[in-house]
Amino acid sequence: MSIYEAVFTVLKTGIKFIQYREKRASRREIYEEAIKLRRLTRHFNATLIINDHADIALAVDADGVHLGQEDLPLKEARKIMGKKIVGISTHNLEQAKEADEGGADYIGFGPVFHTTTKDAGVPVGVDKLRIIKQNVSIPVVAIGGISLENIESVVDAGADAVAMATAICRGDMAGNAERLVKFFRSKRVK
């Protein structure tokens, strides 16, 4: 299944936030795929965030960019992105506070659990997630090893959102995404 087909599949279920992360393709290929994903996410009124590349995010009129600790500094990304979304990956309290104070719109925090998607380091667990949430004023997106089996503990620890790749893409993608949407809808009602 292509990236486009996968994104189409999850958007049909009600997912409203897509982060396009591609590490192996050329920047030209990333740009071309991002253009297609921008059209698709607009059709579903969903947010599109481009990983790592502020220039590509602007070129395709994505909603924002997500940067890691080794990417463009937040201050410089904000100059480029203006009022668009800038998210930052964080792995400890110091990085989280720095991103909050520096003007990030949200932080990704983790890995909360062991993940096979990438080498993200030692899992931090939900207790550290809770501490992060108590010490920053911006939304916290929990990342790393989050599944339909452990998502409740992550939300209970205060995560505003979750980033999930393997838990959605492995197996029945549409069914997994539907279960995730159903979970969050049930949380809003309570």
User: So which residues are the catalytic ones?
Assistant: 21, 89, 118
Burial class (CB in 10 A: 0-12, 13-18, 19+), 53: buried
Three-state DSSP at 143 gives strand
Q: How far apart are CA 31 and CA 8, in angstroms?
A: 18
| β-strands 106-109, 64-67 pairing | unpaired
Q: Please report how the helices 93-102 and 74-81 are oriented relative to each other, as an axis angle in degrees rounded to 10.
A: 30
- Kindly give, in sequence order, each residue whose CB lies less than 8 Å from that of residue 34, ignoring residues fewer than 6 positions away: 20, 48, 50, 56, 57, 59, 60, 62
Q: Which one-letter amino acid corresponds to residue 23?
A: K
Q: How far apart are CA 186 and CA 190, in angstroms?
A: 7
Verify cis geometry, omega within 30 degrees of 0, for the bond prior to 111: yes
